[in-house]
Amino acid sequence: MNADAPVPFGWARAAKAGLTFRPIADADLPFLALVYASTRKQELAATAMTDLQKAAFLLLQFRAQQEHYQKHYPQADRLVVMGGGEDIGRLYIERGPAEHSIIDIALLPEYRGHGAGEVLLRDLTDEAAAAGKGVSTHVEKHNPAIHLYRRLGFVTEQDNGVYELVRWTPTRVAAAQPGLPR
């Protein structure tokens, strides 16, 4: 990356890690459906559905999710996350007047657990802190990423059954870790 090139969204960690972003387009829908399906694979493994039934179910669920996001978060940035020029995941974020809401963040399985998620979350919390805002998202209770959120200072504010509403606030992190660089 050219040192003089602008860093998208000011996300310096992501740029240093080789992550880039682009707004989703209709041509990305098959890829986004694949990312979505990868997040549900373990859950569906326990069902008696055939592979064809699972694929049909996942496609319906993906389409419903996309419609929901479009209807309820029309101003959100919907981004394809790329690493080394390859499509590796998706990030949907809405920057509201009081806080930034991560609507969805997911990476393909082969890119999970290697630091990309942490880089993205740290850049997002830095961006929010600079604007004097917090960051919130819903995380499934059994999602291994919950440990990453906790490590980065997100706390559960609401238990919604399958999901937890977790929130990061700059003052909470600063109070918990005075003097520690982020």
For residue 177, give the 3-state DSSP assignment.
coil
Q: Tens of pLDDT along 145-165?
A: 999 999 999 999 999 888 999
Fold designation for 8-24+76-176 = Aminopeptidase (3.40.630)
Tokens at 128, concatenated? 């929010």
Q: How far apart, in whole angstroms, are the C-alpha atoms of residue 124 and residue 9? A: 9
Q: How far apart, in whole angstroms, are the C-alpha atoms of residue 34 and residue 108? A: 8
pTM listed for this prediction: 0.86
Please state, for a pLDDT cut of 70, what percent of the chain lies above it.
90
Domain residue extents for the chain = 8-24+76-176
Helices (H) then strands (E): counts for the chain: 6, 7
- Of the two residues 102 and 142, the one the predictor is more confident about is 102
Q: Tens of pLDDT along 21-72?
A: 999 999 999 999 999 999 988 888 888 999 899 999 999 999 999 999 999 9
